[in-house]
Amino acid sequence: MKKSSRTTWWAAAIAMVVAAGCARAHTGDAVHTPEQAARATDGGVSPMAHVRGDAGAVECPTWTAPIATAQVSAGANHICALGVDGRVRCWGDGESGQLGDGSFVSSAEWVEVSGLSDARRISAGNAYTCAVRGDATVACWGGLWRGTRTGAGLARSATPQAVAGLRDVVDVTSGGAVACALDTRGEAWCWGDPLGGRLARVAGLSGLVQIDAGYAHACGLDAAGVVRCWGGNDAGQLGDGTRAPSLTPVRVGLGRAAVAIATGDRHTCALLDDGTVSCWGGNGYGQLGDGSTTDRPTPMAVEGLADVTSIHAGRHTCAVTGGRTLCWGENRYGELYDGTHTPHHRPHATAIAGPIDTHAVLTCSTLSTGAVQCCGRVPGSESGER
């Protein structure tokens, strides 16, 4: 891809962030655990069963998985599950076609993505979903702005469409206005944004082992444990000590090697090789975990965390350690999974009992029963803003 395409894409993304200001939609009571909820229904979970906090403040719908599930991915207003058979089912808001069943209709039940039987990885974004196929190509569906030969526009499709030019892909990440793919050469390719950027290779990156896309920024982690970020930087989410956007990936000074990264809407976190976590960027909801709501343009250690094995970010952050999941940040919709709508500015205990995925104001967990449970702004549920 030509450099001009990459420059246009990121300039557009940055202009969007600056012009729009990246507007966003921000010790709890004991909660019933997901496993207790399953037992309460004799081990079977109805498509819209609910789990309440003891205070009755938050309901977290639970859906019986239609298939043996290999991965669950949470979007802004929809959820998708990848089955071990390579098929994908989705539920929730479908107005942009993000459910992939050929319609632009929302669904309160799982629907199967049309024409997709060989998915290997999935990633749900704001109003779209992408999948890595068995032939190492990428297909996406829903609404995502991207460039075409005749100009820019909202490429809205209710069925999977191949992302032309991508091959040898091992992973895909879907953010707010940006999606990125990682190929077998350790290179990153990104596309999207509301102003119509084209697919382009991100220059200056090689040997990547992970990429993650936020709302209008993205980060990559290489085999040496170095993190580099690029794109919008209005809250310091690139981690270079400035608020200046960058078309070129900038190195984040972490002081030691990272082993995983997680990008939220306007913040970023890194899991370090000693089991601790550092975060930087937007902190309006306390998602950096430092006890404040002050943005930080450089990494800050999250106190009280040790032996962390995975991290996840939306407008909140979660860390898995010692079989427990701790979360902090925005809790307007109950996405911290603690049965309340109270935000927390430091790591806080949750009732999560299985592998999780987060996006914006939604947290989903896969239970040992195979059911999928979500807390936060779940379309069609009684959970909501307080």
Domains in the chain: boundaries: 3-19+37-376
- List, for residues 148-172, the tens digit of each pLDDT value: 444 444 578 999 999 999 999 999 9
Backbone angles phi, psi at 72, to 5 degrees: -120, 135
| Residue 62 CA, distance from chain mean position | 20
Q: Residues 46-66: what's their mean pLDDT?
A: 60
Strand-pair partners of 172: 181
- The position carrying tokens 């977290």 is 60
Amino acid sitting at position 359: H
- The architecture that CATH gives domain 3-19+37-376 is 7 Propeller (2.130)
Q: CB of 213 within 8 A of CB of 144?
A: no
60 token code pair: 């977290």
- pLDDT at residue 146 in the model: 57
Q: Residues 131-143: what's their mean pLDDT?
A: 97
- pLDDT at residue 145 in the model: 57
Write out the DSSP string of 98-133: TT-SSSS--EEEEEEPTT---EEEEEE-SSEEEEEE
Backbone angles phi, psi at 269, to 5 degrees: -130, 150
Give every CB contact of residue 182 below 8 A, 6+ residues apart in sequence: 169, 170, 171, 172, 173, 188, 208, 210, 211, 220
- pLDDT at residue 370 in the model: 86
- List, for residues 300-340, the tens digit of each pLDDT value: 999 999 999 999 999 999 999 998 999 999 999 999 999 99
